Structure 1
Amino acid sequence: MSTQFPWLTALILFPLVASLPIPLLPNKYGKTVRWYSLSVGLAEFSLMIYAFWKHYDLQNSAYQLVEDYNWIPQIGLHWSLAVDGLSMPLVLLSGLVTTLAILASWQIKDKPRLFYVLMLVMYSAQIGVFTAQDALLFFFMWELELVPVYLLIANWGGQRRMYAATKFILYTAAGSIFILVAALAMAFYGGDFTFNLAELGLKDYSLSFELLMYGALLVAFGMKLPIFPLHTWLPDAHSEAPAPVSMVLAGVLLKMAGYALIRFNIEMLPNAHAYFAPILAVLGVVNIIYASLTAFAQNNLKRRMAYSSVAHMGFVLIGIAAFTDLGMSGALLQMVSHGLIAAALFFLSGVTYERTHTLMMDKLGGMAKQMPTTFALFTAGSMASLALPGMSGFVGELTIFLGFSSSEAYNPAFKAVIVMLAAVGVLLSPIYLLSMLRTVFYGAESKELAGIRLTDAKPREAFIALCLLVPIIGIGVYPKLATQTYDAKTVAVVSQARQVLPMVAQQPWLDLKVPFAAPMIVGTEAKDLAAAMK
């Protein structure tokens, strides 16, 4: 489905163009700048809601709102944009979280004009990543997003902000090299030069080439997701970044990697995915258990939540590896759910920091009496993160468990091990999250806070938290609010992935089985496959 008006181009360029007048605005206390930036964010979010409401068909798994302009023909770069069930819900998530992050930046007094310019540029880059249908354009948008994040951490972060910002840019820029190399290799493969994602997915790659490209892209996206052991930049970035930047970092930027794994690794390299899927499941379990155990050792409030993010993204890997509609649906639901939950928790940690000027949990305590609203909101966010029934976190994780358990691609022993080990993470998350709540809000007032009068969350702050908690509860009670936006697409993606399973060699070390392959292969094809597997 296409439309004459270039809606996606407008969504990408509007925040970028709107940021240009900001240096000319009055700078007294940053008041004019922040209201202007908030107006831009609200207009952008309203524009995307209108465009998808009027021109997006939820029952259609194909690309929609398609745009294609021959931008720089000398290098084969097309301004090629589209959305489908994989990208549309993440575009909406990006719009909600980033707009709320702008509203959460009300206390920025140092260089506010530069701060809001960077926030709006980052807004444009996020939409560009999720809508780009040209591999080179995707790479440019991916790189464009790195610069504002680096500058935001380096200028407005904590005491170790330069270390955290440098570590962030080194890790993510190194991963970007793998994206560029893979894009160029796939574009030149077979003599038919193209960067178009759909056309790249139709090329007849050799298995060895697919495996090599899959591995390169897994490293690139694994750094951003992040996957153990490529995760170490994330706790440092979160602990030093200002709360609004942490909201976007956890709520949106990590989801870029999950989206890219599905868009590139599964859709374009399905044969290699059949080999790598068990590895993704194992890496997912490692993420969950390692990060959950490491979270216990964190005294810094934001570092504990950062490791919680690493653990929750492990469930996304398991869902992606499931080869079932339910598993893929759970992976997307987990990305949307975690984006909302993480944004809420990091925002509330910022509210706490503004009152106490510390993130060290051993210096906090007994805050519930003076900050009951903040305590209630923090508790609700934590309950969602530990997958309390009735909240989106529960639905996402349960769907992934059911999707992987019902997969016919693995033998029962492997499935049982993965599910049981992942369940350990489900048991650990309430422990480190509830202990965090107990340390910060319960018990006696800490010595550091003795005699200090703490103000509770202001109406603006409570409004931001509620804007995130309402959809969390809404999805938890009625998951179809989210799943209907991508169901048609996940069915198509999984169907494509399952079709190639019978055509790849079995993996003896995992006894990979595909009982649903029998109806697909008949006659001489079945004999040829049996001979090849011997």
Structure 2
Amino acid sequence: MIGNIPWLTAIIIVPLLTALFIPLIPDKEGRTVRWYALTASLLNLGLIAYAFWNSYNFKNTKLQLTESYPWVPQIGLNWSVGIDGLSMPLIVLSSLITTLAVLASWQVKHKPKLFYFLILVLYSAQIGVFAAQDLLLFFIFWEVELVPVYLLIAIWGGAKRRYAATKFILYTALASIFILVSGLTLAFYGDTVTFNLTQLGMKDYSLTIEVLAYVGFLIAYGVKLPLFPLHTWLPDAHSEASAPISMILAGVLLKMGGYGLIRMNLEMLPHAHIKFAPLLVILGVINIVYGAFSAFGQTNLKRRLAYSSISHMGFVLIGIASFTALGMNGAVLQMISHGLIAAALFFLCGSTYERTHTLMMDEMGGLAKQMPKIFALFTAASLASLALPGMSGFVGELTIFLGVTTSDVYSSAFKVVVVFLTGVGLILTPIYLLSMLRVVFYGQENLNLGLEKYSLDAKPREIFITASLLIPIIGIGLYPKLITTTYDYKTIEVASKVRSALPVIAQQETSRQAGLNSGLLISPGLIAPKF
């Protein structure tokens, strides 16, 4: 709280409150309501910029802008919110992408009031997830976020929108049960019952409880990330969702999975994380390679980008499991970088679809001559996605590579295998992205598309949206400290907490079975960790 003003509560509530007035706006065609929604989004973005700029201390790893009020004391539910280096940059990312998604929705004519109402409700829920410091409050925001996404896909999606929306809600809603069960297990463990995340992280759990809770959280956040083999809802959701919803889905919602893993699996359950870290690295490698191979085989433009997202999120898992502050730093950077890049790609995909009325790449061709501006923007975003030096994707992936290869916990043999297999995914990434550009923008023009040449190329609004994403992508690529300084101290603290648990686990392992360490996954550094 700054002074007597609850800024963080205001940032969460403003989009919801403004959404409640949308039904009162006398506008059937959506011309007024879209400006209203954009104004509300910009207002909240301004509140975030003002509050964070004037009060957030980058070097302070503790919670800031904290507020705590009893909400439903009968069940122990408190309105407890706060931010730190982990949540602050993700809140800014969420606000930026959601605001741009509202601007990208300018062509929505079917039920525009309901559309913008749901977007603003989703806006509040996103900020709430990253700011909540009470487990029950976190779960409420997590669940509230699902409903608008389901409706936004089911009503404004493509031909198979109901199937995709149903699959999305089934996967994510069922996975949410694991958050509740695991959270309640931790809350009721021991002599005191608490839902405060900070207090939960200070409890001394038995290893069995930690492992059980860790598995539950991993399943829940693995679905959101998404983690192989819990990923199958994502390509369907992306292929049927409209471009603005895909921007939010790829740019923000997937990051909730990575955020949950760091916030709960690492901060609250460090001993269990040591047990599961090698598995996370393996699953991350599978995500990278599987996603890249699958993307290469897609002829649907949005499905190719969807599998590309699955591949890139695999790096987040590797960084989280690296046991180094550098790798942890790279994981957060990769989440931010991918959020910006994926939002740009899916928006440009939607712009291309509006002109061609198809997502099948083999039905396109020769579009570079007719849409040179869109071609240039699409190329820039694709180069960022394939980790071209000078763009944020390169910095994020390189940091994760350095983090895991310099880790003293994993053996040399394990690291060599990880780097080799991850390299396969890195080689495939430029192949499927550049071949996508070649098929869509080069070659012979498909005259059957019936393109209207006078209105083909990017409009000023579309250029502005893409530039608003490309500028931070390039800025972070050239000077990473623009963003890393906001969370450096926090990632160092989380990595230190995990590493401090290494001797405890090592002692338990040696006591249980001498020589249990295989030498493949865990090096002797686990038995005598080097700090």
Bin the TM-score by the shorter chain.
over 0.9
CA distance, structure 1, for counterparts of residue 223 and residue 77 of structure 2: 26
Question: Is 1:301–1:361's contact at 8 Å kept on the other side of the alignment?
Answer: yes
Aligned-pair Cα RMSD in Å:
1.4
Q: In the aligned structure 2, how far is the partner of 1:177 from the partner of 1:2?
A: 35
What do the CA deviations read for 1:494-530 (whole angstroms, capped 9, x no partner)? 0000000111145634452363875899xxxxxxxxx
Q: Give, in angstroms, the shift of residue 326 of structure 1.
A: 0.6
The alpha carbon displacement at 1:388 in A equals 0.3
Confirm or deny that 1:496 pairs with 2:505: no
Correspondence for 1:402 = 402
Paired residue type of 1:508: N
Name 1:470's counterpart in structure 2: 471
Matched position secondary structure for 1:164: helix
Quick one: which amino acid aligns to residue 470 of structure 1?
Answer: I
Instruction: Output the TM-score relative to the length of structure 2.
Output: 0.96
- 2:108 aligns to what SS in structure 1? coil
* Partner deviation per Cα, 1:267-319 (whole Å, 9 max, x = no partner): 00000000000000000000000010011111110000000000000000000
SS at match of 1:19: helix
Residues 409 and 529 in structure 2, CA contact (< 8 A), matched pair in contact too: no
2:68 is paired with a residue of what secondary structure? strand
1:513 is aligned to 2:523: yes
Looking at structure 2, the residues matched to 438 and 187 of structure 1 have their Cα atoms a distance apart, in angstroms, of 54
Aligned amino acid, residue 293 of structure 2: L
Look up the match of 1:13.
Answer: 13
What residue ranges of structure 1 are gaps of 5+ in the alignment?
A: 522-534
For residue 190 of structure 1, give the secondary structure of its aligned residue in structure 2: coil
Q: Secondary structure at the match of 2:20?
A: coil
- Alignment pair present for 1:459 and 2:460: yes
Unaligned regions of 5+ residues in structure 2, if any? 510-515
Partner of 2:308: 308
Equivalent residue runs for 1:258-273 within 5 Å: 258-273=258-273
Matched residue type, 1:95: S
The code of the aligned residue for 2:523 comes to K
Report SS of the residue matched to 1:189.
Answer: coil
Match of 2:116? 116
- Distance change (3 Å), C-alpha of 1:441 and 1:27: same
**3-state DSSP class of the match of 1:9?**
helix
Aligned residue for 1:107, secondary structure, equals coil
* In the alignment, structure 1 residue 347 sits paired with structure 2 residue 350: no
The number of equivalent residue pairs is 521
2:164: which partner in 1? 164
Give the AA of the match of 1:515: G
In structure 1, how many angstroms separate the alpha carbons of the residues matched to 2:451 and 2:104? 27
Maintained 8 Å contact 1:502/1:514: no
Shift in Å, 1:150: 0.1
Q: Secondary structure at the match of 2:390?
A: coil
For residues 167-198 of structure 1, give each alpha carbon's deviation from its aligned partner in whole angstroms, at most 9, with x where no partner exists: 00000001100001111111111131000001
Partners of 1:504 and 1:4 lie apart in 2 by: 45
Q: List per-residue Cα deviations over 1:8-64 (Å, max 9, x = no partner).
A: 100110000000110111224210000000000000001001100001001111111
Deviation at 1:449, TM superposition (A): 2.5
CA drift of 1:4 comes to: 3.4
Distance 1:451 1:58, change over 3 A: closer
Q: Does 1:152 align with 2:152?
A: yes
Alignment of 1:239-254 (within 5 A): 239-254=239-254
Matches within 5 A, 1:97-108: 97-108=97-108
Contact 1:80 1:132 in 2 (8 A): yes
> Normalising to structure 1: TM-score of the pair?
0.96
Superposition map of 1:514-533 within 5 A: 515=525, 518=528
User: 2: CA distance between counterparts of 1:260 and 1:204?
Assistant: 20
Contact residue 408 and residue 529 of structure 2 kept, 8 A: no
Deviations 1:84-123 (A, max 9, x none): 0000000000000000000000000000000000000000
1:452 positional shift: 4.6
Q: CA 1:199–1:132 in structure 2 vs 1: closer, same or farther (change >3 Å)?
A: same
Give the aligned residue type for 1:184. Answer: L
Identity of aligned residues (%): 66
Q: Are 2:286 and 1:276 equivalent residues in the alignment?
A: no
1:455 to partner: Cα distance: 1.1
> 2: CA distance between counterparts of 1:227 and 1:191?
35
Q: Over residues 401-446 of structure 1, what are the superposed CA-to-partner deviations in whole Å (9 max), with x where a residue is unaligned?
A: 0000000111111111111111111111000000000000001102
